[in-house]
Structure 1
Amino acid sequence: MPRDPVTRGRVDVLASGDMTQTQRVVVVGAGLMGSGIAQVSAVAGHDVVLRDVTDEALARGRAGVEQSLNRFVAKDRISRDDADAALARITTTTDLDVVAEADVVVEAVFESLEVKTGVFTEARPAGPARCRAGHEHLGHPDHPDRRCHRTARVGGRHALLLAGADDAGSASLVRGYKTSDETLATARAFAESVGKTVVVVNRDVAGFVTTRLISALVVEAVKLLESGVATAEDIDTACRLGFGHPMGPLQTADLTGVDILRNASRNIYTETQDEKFAPPETLNRMVTAGDIGRKSGRGFYPYD
């Protein structure tokens, strides 16, 4: 199976069943992360329903999957037939009741606890009793608003790929205080079924592991840039050649979204009061100005 496209942020996973068999996967949120999760799930052989609130968002998400698969075909990473078959496994809907028929539900909506809690609240009555609930980094697995049926079945999953689209991704499985071993095993099985390497995070802390590390690196890189120590290009080159990173921290920020990384850093700083996570002025000004990376056409680099 080809390695997956870049997926970012946290995703909530509600899962059950034997993940070695074809599953019905519902991805709530058709943005870049959600469409990426839909793609890797479909390529792995799962049937996927991509859900968002508007037909326009769904059209963009599906088009993004098609473009990504076409790039894999052009690079001989996947056959044309396999790409077409994967795309055919993805259907779209604006109806959240579709979770009632799901084996796996992946929540990948906007990075806001209020928005995510709203999705959980709306989906909970329709969700099958066999589902296991996950969480996102703005909340906690044990938070009352994030619970699904039984708190012992609440766990987390997050898929975060910091490198380029040609590199394999990892899935961090985050244990809440009452997360059961069964829930963890089910989430691991799903992550591995879509080609992820699993990392278990035993305690729920802001940023978990990967976001905490990349946030510290991006914040320091921005400080070096704004103080004139080095250019963005040279900072990224130093990290690529010096540390073997496929992408430098500022390139990663542009790809992930400058706003997303700023918010992640700010959330970690709020919880830890550790100054190394405090977003620098340049990062805040870029977000205010709308220069938030590739999706806006300009971040630390310009994009066509």
Structure 2
Amino acid sequence: MTVVAVVGAGVMGVDVAATAAHYGYDVILKDVDPGVLSEAPAIMRRNVRSYRMVSPELQEWNAADIVGRITFTDTYEGFGQADWVIENVTEDWEVKSAVYKELSGVCSAEAFFAVNTSCISITKLAALMPRPERVIGMHFMNPVPLKEAVETVRGFHTSEETIAASESLLRSMNKTAILVNDFPGFVANRLSHLFMNEAAFLVQDRVAEPAQIDAIFKQGYGHRMGPLETADLIGLDTVVRSLEVLYQNYQDPKFRCCPLLRQMVDAGLYGRKSGRGFNMY
């Protein structure tokens, strides 16, 4: 039986763990915050109820079975048996690099590592590992159970074996891997963060209200969600950190973070997870 270890029990980590558990994997979900871990099962149950309501394809998901397949822990116990480690910690180089240094000391030499990051270089993180060829980017879209595509990212050292293994893992979870090359932000976030950032500027400049901006994207362009709804779902704090990474790497003013976004994060308005962002929840 394949064991999937998931690091980080935030918005993405909880959904990735639940998805892997639903498709029959034994899952270890690790977070440094015991409070976050204690809340994770209830969040999973609530999420499953919501996903079942909006997607006929997820009617077979059973929250009790999913939670029952997951071990919740604040240590690396059991990681030595993991075939895959999927890392979902905050979009911060210091935090992520510390995690990979820890993982290199507790995981099997045969383990594969999936970096679920928005913008940080896969090559740079893989360089911290004794076998960088077994590291690949695996950028899940949010919300994970409702999104078929996963942007996989080939780092400088990523082997063909790792690419094939990642495609097999994702296929077993009813996902389609779309392989791109490693450059900060890859494809998805170099595009999406420009939309979200410019939409925030439109609100700041009082050109339009958030609902109007999102309506244009949904009714005009046919998107399922508008850029500000998407930012609220991801977390405005995460969006700001990702824009900072993009700006630092490219030194391009098009990635300059909207001051309104920073002000909202400073005020604790993170989006869905705080109950208020560009919309109320």
- CA gap of 1:155–1:73, structure 2 versus 1, over 3 A, is closer
Name which of 77, 85, 90 aligns with 1:110: 90
Tell whether the 8 Å contact from 1:239 to 1:249 is kept in structure 2 after alignment.
yes
Name which of 73, 95, 103 aligns with 2:75: 95
Name which of 34, 47, 50 aligns with 2:26: 47
- CA gap of 1:29–1:69, structure 2 versus 1, over 3 A, is same
Output the TM-score relative to the length of structure 1.
0.84
Q: Specify the alignment match of 1:216 in structure 2.
A: 194
Output the TM-score relative to the length of structure 2.
0.91
Q: Specify the alignment match of 2:203 in structure 1.
A: 225
Q: Specify the alignment match of 1:131 in structure 2.
A: 111
Q: Specify the alignment match of 2:139 in structure 1.
A: 158
Name which of 48, 57, 64 aligns with 1:69: 48
User: Relative contact order: is structure 1 or structure 2 higher (C-alpha 8 Å, sep ≥ 6)?
Assistant: 1
Alignment identity in percent?
35
Alignment of 1:121-200 (within 5 A): 121-135=101-115, 136-137=117-118, 139-143=120-124, 146-161=127-142, 167-200=146-179
Tell whether the 8 Å contact from 2:15 to 2:145 is kept in structure 1 after alignment.
no
Q: For residues 23-75 of structure 1, what are the alpha-carbon distances to aligned partners after superposition, in whole Å with 9 as ceiling and x for unaligned?
A: 21111111111110011101111111111124322111121111122334556
CA RMSD of aligned residues (A): 2.1
- Report the AA paired with residue 9 of structure 2: A
Q: For residues 59-109 of structure 1, what are the alpha-carbon distances to aligned partners after superposition, in whole Å with 9 as ceiling and x for unaligned?
A: 1112111112233455663247x4432221112122213210111111111
Name which of 56, 65, 68 aligns with 1:85: 65
Q: How many pairs does the alignment contain?
A: 278
In structure 2, what is the Cα distance between the partners aligned to 1:130 and 1:171?
23
In structure 1, what is the Cα distance between the partners aligned to 2:212 and 2:52?
33
In structure 1, what is the Cα distance between the partners aligned to 2:150 and 2:6?
16
Tell whether the 8 Å contact from 1:113 to 1:138 is kept in structure 2 after alignment.
no
For residue 261 of structure 2, give the secondary structure of its aligned residue in structure 1: helix
In structure 1, what is the Cα distance between the partners aligned to 2:231 and 2:120?
22
Tell whether the 8 Å contact from 2:232 to 2:278 is kept in structure 1 after alignment.
yes
5+ residue gaps in structure 2?
none
- CA gap of 1:145–1:205, structure 2 versus 1, over 3 A, is closer
Tell whether the 8 Å contact from 2:141 to 2:147 is kept in structure 1 after alignment.
no
Q: For residues 226-279 of structure 1, what are the alpha-carbon distances to aligned partners after superposition, in whole Å with 9 as ceiling and x for unaligned?
A: 222211111000000111111111111111111111221221122222222211
Q: Specify the alignment match of 2:15 in structure 1.
A: 36
Q: Specify the alignment match of 2:255 in structure 1.
A: 277
Q: Specify the alignment match of 1:235 in structure 2.
A: 213
